[in-house]
Amino acid sequence: MEQGLYLVATPIGNLGDMTYRGVEVLKNVDVIGAEDTRRSRVLLDHYQIKTPLLSYHEHNEAKRRPELLARLRDGGSVALISDAGTPGISDPGADLAAAAAKEGIPIHPVPGGNAVLSAVIASGLPCRRFAFEGFLPRVKKERNERLAAVSSSPLTTVLYISPHRLREDLRDLAAACGDRPAALCREMTKLHETFYYGTLGSLRELAGEQELKGEMALVVAAAEGGAPPPDEATLKEEVRVLLRDGVPAKTAARIVAERYHMRKNQIYPYTIDAEEGE
């Protein structure tokens, strides 16, 4: 096997989606680094892959990385896989790839399963250009900044959604983006694969009526000209909330301005009013 780090995509649900090349690579590399060895063992056993397997996840990657890099420096071949999909996309792997690239170690992408692309093409929304935002942050300041970015984005946006945070995420996205078109993609390629088409508002209602479980991706339509500018009192309140959450004044002005396609200097005076308690 040629020396290098092989970033091997695995199925996001249906084991039949594994590529021929992916199987051959996993059979012939020296070792496989897996996010969860128990979950990966199901895939490897299905394809009768006997290659040594070791764990490589967010809790041990700093410790494990030197070991794998040492193998690669000695001319070895290492494959990296995540629980599902392409390693490095909201999964461990990006740091190892960066370290290998820095040392001039060959990197070989082995494409295949990818939840982001699967969601985009099934969403029915424009996909010539799109943005991937991963999971929404939980920290208020970062969350508000990300929501503002999605709200004003001229691109179709894909987000990952945790089942236990679905209602909260849809609530906040609907509040930030308005009732724009969206698609919720649940359990893609699996037995209970379901696509829900509608708007952020209708999807929020659906999530309130049903307990939706499983892995999900949400695709949100791009902003169309931005939301109409609200009255002055509303603008001041939005600025005040951002400042209260610790967002710097200039950043708060930019976030609100982008949300309504206004100039930052139109909003910045409201930050001064808020800081002075007016």
Q: What is the pTM of this model?
A: 0.77
DSSP β-ladder status, 156-161 and 216-220: antiparallel
Q: With beta carbons less than 8 A apart as the criterion, state whether 22 and 110 touch.
A: yes
Cα(43)–Cα(23) distance, rounded to whole angstroms?
10
Residues 6+ apart with CB under 8 A from 130: 120, 155, 156, 157, 158
H or E segment to which residue 139 belongs: none
pLDDT at 264: 81
Among 118, 141, 103, which residue's Cα sits nearest to residue 244? 141
The whole-number pLDDT of residue 210 equals 92
Per-10-residue mean pLDDT, the chain, length 278 = 96 96 98 95 97 93 93 97 90 89 97 95 92 94 93 93 96 93 96 95 94 95 69 86 87 80 80 68
- Backbone dihedral region of 40: left (phi > 0), alpha (psi from -120 to 50 degrees) or beta? alpha
